[in-house]
Amino acid sequence: MFRGCFFVCFLLHGVLVGAQNRVAWALESATYHGTLWRHTPKLTIQTGQPVWGQEIGVRFQTQGRKSWQVWHRYPAFGVAVAHFRLGKQAHGDAWGLLPNLNLPLLRTGRWLAIFRVGAGLGYVTRPYDSFSNPDQNAIGSHWNNFTQFRLSAEYRLTAHWRVQAGGALSHFSNGASTLPNFGVNLPGAFAALAWSPGGIREEHFHATSENKRGGRRWGGMVSGSLALTEYSIFDGPRYPVWGLSGAGYFQINRVNRLLVGMEYEYNRAVYHFGLRTSGFLDKHAARLGATRLAVTVADEFLFGSLGIQVLAGVYTGGQINQIIPHAWYSKLVVRYYFPPMFRSPLRCHAGVSLKTHETTAELFATGIGLVF
């Protein structure tokens, strides 16, 4: 729960920073219709039934007062409260507090194509319980991470009113901090209506004369992370998972960079589980089995001091990576970059990450690091 609250506060800070010195804002209401996806045969909850959801929120439209806003085609920051009725055999109701970022992909006349990504705090009313609810295994805790992706088209009716429709994927899970954690995935469609009391007009948008490709092109980044997770046994103890990573990057432009590096991970849950089940012969073998090493490739998008990174990793190395669900994994990383230190290019960062193997979340971690 603490990490979920940190995640929400962290992203809310990004929303408020992005919204400062700006008066263009709108209220938004959305209706969702989708299905519970049976993304793994291990799910015991009822799947395939239609699911309805509702959302109400506020979004703040950037207008180019910062150069990065122009370079990103004037994105909008927002925060929303969402509700989904999952059903009696599927954990009841799910609620979400969702800070989000709306990224314009294409503008033409009154039409706008938008990709929205959001991550925040979720709450499920009937999680798994070994006594009172042993037959529903998608979610093991009340408090969870709530992540959502939307791709849609928006039409501007007037300066005050806009309509929007498209597809969405909503995800609830706790990153295996409490088992079971197969997660709830809700693919579907949505329709939304937005109203801006002050109006949002094109003549209020600013341009920039700054060079998007200026600045330093090469650099590096080091990071450390910590996650707490249960392993294999429901209602069992939580173990730490320590992570360390390093990467070099090439700055494509001031708001986008590519990174190539390596990630090291030491999973104490695998160490103890392997020893107690005789999966490892001795402590040395257990330490090797609990060690993971991966080669990573990532793409990071920068929105002022906020960075959103999409990462893919492939495990590598002999005698290690012995207990892994799949040969590769993906991560969604959100970071806040603090101001440069000592008038140098060095900047500290703090953030959170969600690691998944295919469609199942494995870890939800907090991290700190340095970029240079």
* Model pLDDT for residues 29-72, shown as the tens digit of each residue: 999 999 999 988 889 999 998 999 999 999 999 999 999 999 99
Q: How far apart are CA 190 and CA 188, in angstroms?
A: 7
User: Band of the pLDDT at 169, cuts 50, 70, 90?
Assistant: very high
- Sequence-separated (6 or more) residues with CB below 8 Å from residue 207: 64, 70
- Within 269-327, strands assigned E span 291-303, 306-315
pLDDT at 3: 47
Average pLDDT of the chain, as a whole number: 89
- pLDDT tier for residue 142 given thresholds of 50, 70 and 90: very high
Nearest in space to 111 (alpha carbons), one of 32, 66, 166, 70: 166
Picking from 332, 363, 172, 358, the residue whose alpha carbon sits closest to that of residue 269 is 363
Contacts 24+ apart (CB under 8 A), 268-276: 268/239, 268/240, 268/241, 268/242, 269/229, 269/230, 269/231, 269/232, 269/239, 269/241, 270/231, 270/323, 272/231, 272/239, 273/231, 273/232, 274/323
For residue 127, which amino acid is it? Answer: P
Tell me: pLDDT of 204 over 70.
yes
Tell me: the pLDDT tens digits for 248-288?
A: 999 999 999 999 999 999 988 888 877 777 678 888 888 88
Average pLDDT over residues 81-97: 95
Mean pLDDT on 224-249: 86
Q: pTM higher than 0.95 for the full model?
A: no
Domains of the chain, earliest start first: 2-204 (2.40.160.20), 218-371 (2.40.128.30)
Tokens at 243, concatenated = 């992570």
Whether the predicted pLDDT of 20 surpasses 50: no
Quick one: what percent of the chain has pLDDT higher than 70? 92
